[in-house]
Structure 1
Amino acid sequence: MNHTDSADPKLLANIRIVLTRTSHPGNIGAAARAMKTMGLSQLYLVAPAVFPNSQADAMAASAGDVLAQARVCATLAEALADTTLALGVSARRRDIVAEVLTPPIAAIRLLTEAQAAPVALVFGNETSGMSNEELGLCQRLVTIAANPDYSSLNLAAAVQVLSYEIRQAWLGHASTPQPEMDAATGDELERFYGHLETALAELEFLNPGSPSKLMLKLRRLFARTRLAKEEVNILRGILTAAQGAKRAALSARNPDAK
């Protein structure tokens, strides 16, 4: 029996490839071609420099349908809003404390989570890669073990490597474990982080003039733990209670304040 006879195509449909701030339209087309050869079709583009474009069409070859249905987003947060797992493809960074996955392990993680909700692989700009802010929206990193003497991998080639690993894991889908929890979506996490920043500023724990450094560290902390929907609700309840207690204390000290 052909391996694809029992493999669930819905799993691949729940895996999106996200390209952020892509400079050259030809790379978008080549990435679309790499995806289609491995059965992936969900392409998301975050603030591409040029798209649509004839160079993208030419490099896509027979993957024009992937380009035609590509979704263009203004921000990475928008592209990840409904996902429960986002893996950022990046070279190993000493300043980033996060679990780093190999491509085969990343493929299994994606397929596991894709059984319940959309997931994403995120690729950065061709020259600068992913920014700290973009990495802060991802729960894990993926690194391709390239030649350390020449590790510059073309964007489409990186997409091809990861897409291949996903397909190989998909073909061996019988060993794919079930998701361990009802994970929070990207949109739910972003609302939590916004609430957390507001609450910490009200509690005078966070400097409102320069909150980004601490918030980035807190994002990485929670990304390492992974948060379930229920856990996000609990944490937001705690924040709301802390805000209420702070406001009540201020009101008691200044009863005439409006």
Structure 2
Amino acid sequence: MGLAGIRIILVEPAGPLNLGSIARVMKNFGLSDLVLVNPQCDRSSTEALNMAVRAKKILASAVIVDTLPQALQGCVRAIATIGRDYDGELPVENPRQVFPWLLAEPEKPVALIFGREDRGLTNQEINYAQKLVFIPTNPQYSSLNLATAVSICCYELSQIAENFINQDIQTSETASLDMIEPYYQELESLLLSIGYLYPHTAASRMEKFRHLYNRAHLKTGEVGMLRGILKQVQWAIENHHQK
């Protein structure tokens, strides 16, 4: 589901320009699930539509509900955005710390909650979230425009999601330990036969080779290539002796 499974929830948004801008930035970063809790402006107003540009469908398909619990229905994880003056009990984290947790449920809906432009979320609304996020800003002027806050969060989510995808690709290609072990055995045998290793120091030397290859995170194809080199070297040695 990825980014498409992230639900952007706006509690009582009042500015149509903000609403249109948020729809646009959601489309920019591949998000489409927008929920409005008791909106104080018209999502179909000229101002909202003009700001949305090519993201008018996101505005049109936005779900409107009366309460935050209704907006969170079906979600398995939720993060609420808060301002600098929060003094509650939940720990406050920055986007890069907490968003990986939100994306760790790729097959189920999750939510990112934004409060009102003028006063954010109430304590009761914050209690519906499992984690809190704060966007670090200049302490002398920490107030962020709602659309700007959503934009920053969407960007951070997209970057973290891309890292997850890259990690999955790398993991799927990484050679398993039982695939690498025969290579170590063949390497040790060859190095002993050519006198590079000595029986009484082979174990410690091979440990260094293991550490070297472990840092390389060998892929399946790379292990096959290395084993092919060993076989060719062994063939060359044997044929050289026969001549």
Q: Percent identity?
A: 40
Distance 1:149 1:170 in 2: 32
How big is the shift at 1:95? Answer: 2.9
Residue 131 in structure 1 maps to residue 122 in structure 2: yes
Residue 39 in structure 1 maps to residue 68 in structure 2: no
The secondary structure found in structure 1 opposite 2:102 is helix
Distance 1:175 1:97 in 2: 35
Partner of 1:51: 42
Rg (Cα) greater in structure: 2
Q: 1:36-185, aligned counterparts within 5 Å?
A: 36-52=27-43, 53-113=45-105, 115-174=106-165
Cα 1:94–1:129 shift into 2, 3 Å: closer
The secondary structure found in structure 2 opposite 1:18 is strand
Q: Which amino acid aligns with 2:80?
A: G
TM-score by length of 2: 0.65
What number of residue pairs does the alignment pair up? Answer: 167
Partner of 1:246: none
More helix by share: 2
Give CA deviations for 1:90-132 in whole Å, capped at 9, x if unaligned. Answer: 014453110212111222111102x231101100000011111
CA contact 1:108–1:176 (8 Å) conserved in 2: no
* Unaligned stretches of 5+ residues in structure 1: 1-9, 178-258
Q: Which amino acid aligns with 2:56?
A: G
Give CA deviations for 1:181-224 in whole Å, capped at 9, x if unaligned. Answer: xxxxxxxxxxxxxxxxxxxxxxxxxxxxxxxxxxxxxxxxxxxx
* Unaligned stretches of 5+ residues in structure 2: 169-243
The secondary structure found in structure 1 opposite 2:148 is helix
The secondary structure found in structure 2 opposite 1:112 is coil
CA contact 2:24–2:55 (8 Å) conserved in 1: yes
CA contact 2:92–2:133 (8 Å) conserved in 1: yes
The secondary structure found in structure 2 opposite 1:96 is coil
The secondary structure found in structure 2 opposite 1:61 is helix
Q: Which amino acid aligns with 1:125?
A: R
Q: Which amino acid aligns with 1:80?
A: L
Residue 22 in structure 1 maps to residue 13 in structure 2: yes
CA contact 1:111–1:176 (8 Å) conserved in 2: no
Which is worse superposed, 167-176 or 99-108?
167-176
Distance 2:37 2:146 in 1: 15
Distance 2:167 2:48 in 1: 34
Cα-Cα RMSD: 1.6
Partner of 1:199: none
Distance 1:131 1:151 in 2: 19
Partner of 1:194: none
Distance 1:164 1:59 in 2: 18
How big is the shift at 1:26? Answer: 1.4
TM-score by length of 1: 0.62
Distance 1:137 1:116 in 2: 21
Cα 1:111–1:175 shift into 2, 3 Å: farther
